[in-house]
């Protein structure tokens, strides 16, 4: 165990930068918009949690986004504050202006590079796209020292053209190169191999930080991000609760806990204090009104709940039987043994004791039988139901 609840906190391991885009890509979830005050509240929490880069919005998209990015930049202390911008001169200027007050400002500029996007969305040929890459990155670099460039739809881009675009971005001053799986099309082996091949083929690949930005259309965003990491990515773009366009982005809490729990096979460190994860999840859910699914990894209501008798019995003997991490590591107070029709006698007795009832032998057997009958009839057995059941039995004895 580490003293601070970070994902590894071991300086000998490569550091993974956590780039949170809940307020930019996350806000692109239909219905997930956030007010200025909500964004400021979330940014404060993300910074306290140890997020390295906060993508605070898309300043040219609206006056509201501009105001939010500027306000987050002005209040920031340690995190890099980043704004997104297309490759147009106006977007880049607005973005530079919005992040100006940050202690550590970043402009993140992007353009599509895949044939389908260039033809149908941009209506631009490869040469014009290449020219836009050089021009936009140079312009951004004249405004700030920290410039991220993304090849939108990189995973469906022709490899040699992708290399040319990345070469140009690096030559023009980009400091981070992001390889988005924009439509969540890749699978882990493929995404990992793409990152490796890019790093091996780009002459100045060691001069920049490589970043993964994976969408979850096939449910592979986290797996793809981890494959990227194993092949040289050192920045992961992710969101709280996996919020984001369509099926969302890689979930920050899953990425970070995968490293913390499986340090044996994922030997990397982050500066995230994982005890903030449950709070961050609840805050994003409250702000956006998006419920967290009960069985969501790490932060779902059931992530540390056990109902079957066999599992509850194991948990009462040793929590490692059915839990691979401690609830307090992610900021959840404790494991819960949920009382239902599958619960066993040991868990029932433990529950009674936690409520101040110490009964044994026939009295316990009777109470347990009556509890099972009730649980067969009633979907949710609450503490009050159990109290009523035992009090009734004790009164009759
Ligand atoms: O998914 C994507 O490609 C993006 C880029 C703008 C980074 O969100
Ligand atoms: Zn995205």
- Answer whether 149 contacts ligand 1 (Cβ < 6 A): no
185 within ligand 1 shell (Cβ under 6 A)? no
Q: For strand 235-238 and strand 209-214, is the pairing parallel, antiparallel, or unpaired? A: parallel
Q: Tell me if 380 is assigned to a ligand binding site.
A: no
In the structure, what pLDDT confidence band is assigned to residue 397 with cuts at 50, 70 and 90? confident
3-state secondary structure (DSSP) of residue 5: coil
pLDDT tens per residue across span 83-126: 999 999 999 999 999 999 999 999 999 999 999 999 999 999 99
Question: Is the beta carbon of 70 within 6 A of some atom in ligand 1?
Answer: no
Tell me the sheet residues that pair with 209: 176
What's the gap in Å between 380 CA and the centre of ligand 1?
43
Q: What is the DSSP letter of 14?
A: P
Binding site membership of 148 for ligand 1 (Cβ less than 6 Å) = no
Is residue 2 predicted with pLDDT exceeding 50? no
Buried b (16+ CB within 10 A) or exposed e, 307-345: bbbebbbbbbeebeebbebebebbbbeebebbbbbbbbb
pLDDT digits (tens, 9 = 90+) for 272-292: 999 999 999 999 999 999 999
Which amino acid residue places its CA nearest to atom 5 of ligand 1?
A: 152
With the most atoms of ligand 1 within 8 angstroms of its CB, the residue from 20, 25, 117 to mutate is 25
Residue 108, annotated ligand binder?
Answer: no
Q: Give the span between the Cα atoms of 306 and 320, in whole angstroms.
A: 13
Predicted confidence band at 12 (pLDDT cuts at 50, 70, 90)? confident
Q: Is the pLDDT of residue 10 over 70?
A: no
Q: Summarize the confidence of residues 226-231 as an average pLDDT.
A: 98
Q: What are the pLDDT digits (tens) for 329-357? A: 999 999 999 999 999 999 999 999 999 99
DSSP 140-190: HHHH-S-EEEEEETGGGS-HHHHHHHHHHHHHTT-SEEEEEETTS---HHH
The pLDDT of residue 220 is above 60: yes
Considering only CA atoms, which residue is closest to atom 8 of ligand 1? 25
State the chain's mean pLDDT as an integer. Answer: 96
Which of the four pLDDT bands, split at 50, 70 and 90, describes residue 3?
very low
Atom of ligand 1 nearest to the CA of 28: 8
- Residue 119: what are its φ and ψ, rounded to 5°? -70, -50
Taking the chain, what is the end-to-end CA distance rounded to the nearest angstrom?
49
**pLDDT > 90? residue 1:** no
Q: What does the pLDDT look like over 232-267, one tens digit per residue?
A: 999 999 999 999 999 999 999 999 999 999 999 999
DSSP states of 265-326 as a string? TS--B---BGGGHHHHHHHHHHHH--PPPTT-TTTSTTTTEE-SHHHHHHHHH-GGGT-SS-
353-373 average pLDDT score:
95
For residue 373, how far is its CA from the centre of ligand 1 (angstroms)? Answer: 54
Instruction: Give the pLDDT score at 8.
Output: 56
- Ligand 2 centroid – CA 180 distance (Å): 7
Check whether 249 is labelled as a binding-site residue. yes
User: What is 66-89 written as a DSSP string?
Assistant: HHHHHHHHHH-SSSEEEEEE-SSH
């Amino acid at each position: 165990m580490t003293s601070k609840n970070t994902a590894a906190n071991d300086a000998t391991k490569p550091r993974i930068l956590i780039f949170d885009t809940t307020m930019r890509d996350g806000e692109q979830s239909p219905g997930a918009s956030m007010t200025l005050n909500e964004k400021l509240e979330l940014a404060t929490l993300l910074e306290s949690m140890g997020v390295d880069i906060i993508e605070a919005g898309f300043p040219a998209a609206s006056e509201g986004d501009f105001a939010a990015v500027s306000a987050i930049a002005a209040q920031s202390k340690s995190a890099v504050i980043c704004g997104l911008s297309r490759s147009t001169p106006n977007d880049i200027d607005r973005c530079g202006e919005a992040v100006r007050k940050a202690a550590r400002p970043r402009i993140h500029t992007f353009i599509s590079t895949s044939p389908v996007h260039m033809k149908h969305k941009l209506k631009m040929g490869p040469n014009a796209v290449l020219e836009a890459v050089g021009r936009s990155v140079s312009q951004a670099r004249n405004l700030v020292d920290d410039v991220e460039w993304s090849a939108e739809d990189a995973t469906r881009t022709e490899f040699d053209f992708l290399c040319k675009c990345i070469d140009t971005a690096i030559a023009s001053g980009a400091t981070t190169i992001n390889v988005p799986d924009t439509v969540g099309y890749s699978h882990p082996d493929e995404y990992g191999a793409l990152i490796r091949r890019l790093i091996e083929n780009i002459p100045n690949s060691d001069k920049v930080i490589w970043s993964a930005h994976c969408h979850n259309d096939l449910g592979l965003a986290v797996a793809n991000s981890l494959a990227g990491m194993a092949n040289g990515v050192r920045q992961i773009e992710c969101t709280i609760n996996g919020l984001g366009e369509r099926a969302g982005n890689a979930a920050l809490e899953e990425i970070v806990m995968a490293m913390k729990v499986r340090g044996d096979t994922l030997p990397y460190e982050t500066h995230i204090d994982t005890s903030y994860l449950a709070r961050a999840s609840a805050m994003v859910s409250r702000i956006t009104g998006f419920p967290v699914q009960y069985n969501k990894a790490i932060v779902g209501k059931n992530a540390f709940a056990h109902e079957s008798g066999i599992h509850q019995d194991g948990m009462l003997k040793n929590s490692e039987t059915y839990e691979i991490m401690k609830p307090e590591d992610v900021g959840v107070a404790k494991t819960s043994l949920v009382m239902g029709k599958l619960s066993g006698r040991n868990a029932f007795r433990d529950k009674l004791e936690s409520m101040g009832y110490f009964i044994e032998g026939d009295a316990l057997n009777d109470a347990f039988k009556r509890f099972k009958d009730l649980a067969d009839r009633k979907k949710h057995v609450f503490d009050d139901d159990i109290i009523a059941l035992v009090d009734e039995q004790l009164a009759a004895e």
